[in-house]
Amino acid sequence: MPSLLCSMRIVKFTINMTPLQDLILPAPSSRILKTLILQGYIFPSLKDLVKSKDKNKPLFISMVGTQGKRLFSKGEILKISKGQMASSSISFPFYEKSIDEIKEDTYDTPFGKIVITVDRIDLLDLSSIKTEKYLEKNIKIKFLTPPLLTSKVLLPPSLKEKYKSVRSGYSILPSIGLISSYAYKTYLSALGKNENPELDTRQFKIGVLTNALSEVFGFSLEPITIIIGRDDKGNLRKTRGPMGWIEFDIKSKKLKKRIIKYLLVSSFLGLGKSRGIGLGEIEIS
């Protein structure tokens, strides 16, 4: 496997997929792209990263989308019709041969035969992220899939162990500090940095500072519950998070520049927990 954690660039492949028969989508629908990798059809060098149980790995696999919307089940069966083009994306630290590890072809998957083509490739250089065009206006975040954000990341590090066993759940009305704290965590994953007390302290400070120095100008958020698979007993696994958008500004220009940088990385790698299955996909404007 290439040394993925040493790359200073994040690549995002947007992939078109067209089924050759009516296709019932799995839950989550990101399993289609994940299965293609695990079968060795595309990006075989990513197989170990996909299988890894690391909590903050630099990988995002989106859910399948059609007509500009991601497809996730709230209990209903979702499907794509024969010949209907859908899309998905995958983001990870760039390595040179990644471009050669995906071929436009027809692949036989457990879900059916699918024609795969590459729509576009985007690169984000972590050493020179451009934030200028965002500095003179409000920041608007759109949640394309619900993010899983727990307010426990805003606990002072000195209290982290004391409240370790408390299950606070996921926020359906996240504060700007909570969003920024998780964006910083995604940024750390892109750098290949693991959690340690110093980074925990920095993440806590970013959350507190951003909450104190931000102003919300508008939002439209709706909590939704979606299906993300089944447990070992066959019971449906569900999770809950917000969908919609939030518009805000950060009054410290220095802090705003940092948060924009973290959010732009998150627009490639997602925000919050379970990014590897397509939760927490965001757009920044």
pLDDT in tens, 136-172: 999 999 999 999 999 998 998 888 888 888 888 899 9
Average pLDDT of the segment spanning 51-64: 93
Angstrom distance (rounded) from CA 53 to CA 38: 15
| pLDDT at residue 233 tops 90 | no
| CA–CA separation, 285 and 283 (whole Å) | 7
Question: Looking at domain 4-125, which CATH architecture does it have?
Answer: Beta Barrel (2.40)
Give me the percent of the chain exceeding a pLDDT of 70.
97
Q: Is the pLDDT of residue 4 over 70?
A: no
pLDDT over 90 (residue 55): no
Domain ranges for the chain, please list them.
Answer: 4-125, 132-284
pLDDT per position as a tens digit, 235-249: 899 999 999 999 999
Whether the per-residue pLDDT at 2 is higher than 50: the answer is no
- CATH number (3.40.50.1820, 3.20.20.330, 3.30.70.1900, 3.20.20.10) of 132-284 reads 3.30.70.1900
Q: What is the pLDDT of residue 177?
A: 97
Q: Which pLDDT belongs to residue 88?
A: 97
- pLDDT given at position 32: 97
Contact 145, 72 (CB under 8 A): yes
% residues pLDDT > 90 (the chain): 82
| Alpha-carbon separation of residue 158 from 163, 178, 197, 201 (angstroms) | 10, 18, 9, 9
- As a whole number of angstroms, the distance between CA 170 and CA 168 comes to 7
pLDDT in tens, 202-223: 999 999 999 999 999 999 999 9
86 has pLDDT over 80: yes
Average pLDDT score over residue span 6-23:
92
pTM across the whole model = 0.94
The average pLDDT across 171-196 equals: 92
The token pair at 155 is: 């606990």
pLDDT at 1 over 80: no
| Dist. CA 92–CA 5, nearest whole Å | 9
Residue 106 has pLDDT above 60, yes or no: yes
CA–CA distance, 44 with 81 (Å, rounded to integer): 28
- Binned at pLDDT 50, 70 and 90, residue 6 comes out as low
pLDDT at 48: 95
